[in-house]
Structure 1
Amino acid sequence: MLSEALLEELRFKGEGSDLDYKAERYRFAQASDDDKSEMLKDILAFANAYREAPAYILLGFKENAPHPAEVTGLPPDGAIDDSRVQQFVNSKLNAKLEFRYEEGLLGDRHIAVISIPKQRRPFYLTRDYGKLTRDTVYVRRGSSTGIASPDEIARMGTIRGVVKTVLDFQTPDNDPLPNAFERRFINFPARLPSLERDRNVFLTTTFLVNADYYREGAVYHSSWNRVFQARLLLTNQSEFSLGDAHLEVVVRCPEGETASMLRADEMPDVPSSTYFPLANAHLEHAGQAVTIDDRGKMPVAHVALGTIRPGQTVRAEEDIAILPSGPGVYSIQVRILANEIPTPLLAEHQLEVTGPLVSVSEQEFFLSWNSFPDDED
């Protein structure tokens, strides 16, 4: 059954090529062929309609423009079984039509929903049935149903079918990304001193002392001990190309925890006590296909994949480094977008991160400076 949020959203839409309200349930059980053909005609018309999103027939609703549709409800008795409707519809058509019939509750009202995804068309009857005639393409235009013209039918043949994709989550070694990681969460002192120049050591003007050496070291050890990296691969299993394919990646965290994201090639390097001054030390990478936007409440990784041909697998330009703040169950959630995908597809990989929380004092930091464990797996 559709979510209550989506049903509420649909109530505010008017009837059209992707939505219809029915105050009563279709006559189906022990109904005449003429009565049953009413349901069949509506399903066919929506399946053949020109639209960008799934179509819905909401039963137990009454249009109440300009206000939201009224939820009138259906009698609990007389519910229709999806499997019977599937067999009834598809036994009469030229091709298999994907749809779903569901009955359930919205609040305390019994309702029913017919969901019809966008798919390859046209659909038509192979023999006369009830009020419907064979080889006739019924189509929904706005809030009315008619018979498609030859030109309309010809254009239907060019409409692309169902989008099918597979998103794989892998490690940098191209193995499946595990569902569990063990990491160390090291908490260093909030303030560490600057590295000062040793007066007994002569340094040419070519090299300068890196005053942030200890602070960079704390970031380096903290980051590499808690990080895990995800490699994303998208396979197009559709019968057509996906243009301007794009992934949006976020990490949902357990309560009280956070997670930052970086490109894997932007993880901190081993710090050096000296550095060579550059004219521009903050060069931006131009034309990156993987970027991290951390200006919102949670960071979002944007992954541009370009055009993906049928059967082709495209790997993200760079792996994503995810740095959880502490143990817990995290979820990598991905929205898949493309020119041919009217509503973003969703993929998710859940994992549990375990490991100790380690607090390091300033004295311990300097005593153990050269012995902090590094975890770069």
Structure 2
Amino acid sequence: MNDVLFEELLNEDESATLDFKRDQYPFVGATDEQKSELLKDIVAFANAWRRTDAYILIGVEDVKGGRSKVIGAASHPDDATLQQFVNSKTQRPLTFLYEVFASEGVQVGIIQIPLQERPVFLKHDFGKLKKNLVYVRRGSSTGIADPDEISKMGSAMALERNEPTLELQFALPKTRTEMGTALSIESEIVELPKTDQIPSQRMASIIDFNNNPDFYREMAQYIRLTSILREVGFTLKNTGSILAARAHLQIIAERKDHVLIVDESRYPKFPQRQRTIPMFLPNMGPNRISVDNHGNQWSLSLSFGSLQPKASTWSNGVFYVGALKPCQLNLEAHIYADNLSEPIKVPLSIDIETKQRKLDMKELEGAPSGV
């Protein structure tokens, strides 16, 4: 900071690049709620739509339509401590600088936030702030970016680097239905009859050795599991003018006991009335979604292949997700490509509600034959 720039800032109005704070942010010895105000402002300016550095002037009282008044701040946080605090909370490093600047016989705190990769959001809830929400400075106030705005944030940086700009959404590939980045589904929790109340399937004749006596019990379990799960796929669009070479999607998240996520190869098999050799062939073609478990984590991967400018592609098949109780899954998708200098990160969410019902024996006995 220098005297000329400082004077220019004092004569500007608050905007997407400037904020005045009469009082210092609570920090040393403050509660998480108090500290979250400082964190929110820094993150919001990092996500702001601007073409130049942003500044927060602490110890300066805003004067609308005139030169803001320099009051000074009695204390200042250590820059290294502040850096560690902010960057321990965000999903990617956030570049900023805290500087103590002398003016008019007092000391003013200046937070400078340069242009950088967006979006920036919190990995975990903190104080009043929620994880995975993208706070953004708009004019003289702070709001929350919607999925379209978040996608454009990444696209703007990609254009400057001459790289492909990609937009990811949940989708239903069979019907070519786009579903956005925030999905709401409902799992049905089916209460089964007691095992001894489910009859065995009778043999058609005394020589019908292929008859499956466990058909109804297997069907009950099939209905229970498939009622929980809902199918979901993906679509990827290249909105820019540069080819995306060998685009690949990956999601890694923590496993939860009440959440079920499987790919097509692990989806429950339809029961057979007759005992036969299983002929199920999993979808092994290109653009197939694969879900794997690794200790306390699960991962989803999908290769889209190369994608021409302005073109869209769809996953070949789906994965299945559901839960035993209401919950929200907050995920971060990483999109890789040979000509991306770093992956594009896309926040995704799945809100799962549940409802209960009992399995009626008539429904079970009227189940269709397997194929």
Q: TM-score, normalised by structure 2?
A: 0.50
Partner letter of residue 260 of structure 2? A
The 1:354–1:370 alpha-carbon spacing in structure 2 relative to 1, beyond 3 Å, is farther
Where 1:354 maps in the other structure, the secondary structure is strand
Contact 1:194/1:213 (8 A) holds in 2? no
Where 1:277 maps in the other structure, the secondary structure is coil
Partner letter of residue 213 of structure 1? F
Identity %: 13
Contact 1:196/1:209 (8 A) holds in 2? no
- Structure 1 gap segments, 5+ residues each: 1-24, 33-81, 88-97, 119-158, 373-377
Count of aligned pairs: 237
Where 1:183 maps in the other structure, the secondary structure is strand
Contact 1:168/1:232 (8 A) holds in 2? yes
Contact 1:244/1:304 (8 A) holds in 2? yes
Matches within 5 A, 1:74-93: none
Contact 2:170/2:183 (8 A) holds in 1? no
Query: 1:27-82: per-residue Cα shift (whole Å, max 9, x none)?
Result: 751699xxxxxxxxxxxxxxxxxxxxxxxxxxxxxxxxxxxxxxxxxxxxxxxxx8
2:222 to 220, 245, 249: 220
Contact 1:261/1:299 (8 A) holds in 2? no
Where 1:272 maps in the other structure, the secondary structure is coil
Distance 2:239 2:316 in 1: 20
CA RMSD, aligned part only?
4.3
1:182 to 171, 179, 186: 186
Partner letter of residue 335 of structure 2? I
Distance 2:334 2:3 in 1: 39
Match of residue 355 from structure 2: 356
> How much does 1:200 deviate?
6.6
Distance 2:276 2:366 in 1: 26
Distance 1:164 1:30 in 2: 37
Partner letter of residue 370 of structure 1? E
* The 10-residue stretch of structure 1 (185-194 or 172-181) with the greater mean CA deviation from structure 2: 185-194
The 1:227–1:27 alpha-carbon spacing in structure 2 relative to 1, beyond 3 Å, is farther
Matches within 5 A, 1:109-188: 110=98, 112-116=112-116, 161-171=162-172, 172-177=174-179, 179-188=183-192
Contact 1:227/1:322 (8 A) holds in 2? yes
Partner letter of residue 181 of structure 1? I
Partner letter of residue 317 of structure 1? N
Where 1:343 maps in the other structure, the secondary structure is coil
> How much does 1:243 deviate?
1.2
Match of residue 336 from structure 1: 335
> How much does 1:248 deviate?
1.4
Match of residue 41 from structure 1: none
Query: 1:184-237: per-residue Cα shift (whole Å, max 9, x none)?
Result: 1125489789986746724456xx343653453233212332222222111112
Query: 1:81-115: per-residue Cα shift (whole Å, max 9, x none)?
Result: x89xx99xxxxxxxxxx665455976457353434
The 1:275–1:256 alpha-carbon spacing in structure 2 relative to 1, beyond 3 Å, is closer
Where 1:326 maps in the other structure, the secondary structure is coil
The 1:352–1:366 alpha-carbon spacing in structure 2 relative to 1, beyond 3 Å, is same
Partner letter of residue 273 of structure 2? S
Contact 1:194/1:211 (8 A) holds in 2? no
Where 2:220 maps in the other structure, the secondary structure is helix
Contact 1:252/1:330 (8 A) holds in 2? no
Q: TM-score, normalised by structure 1?
A: 0.50
Pick the structure with greater CA Rg. 1
Kindly indicate whether residue 364 of structure 2 is the aligned counterpart of residue 369 of structure 1: yes
Contact 1:99/1:117 (8 A) holds in 2? no
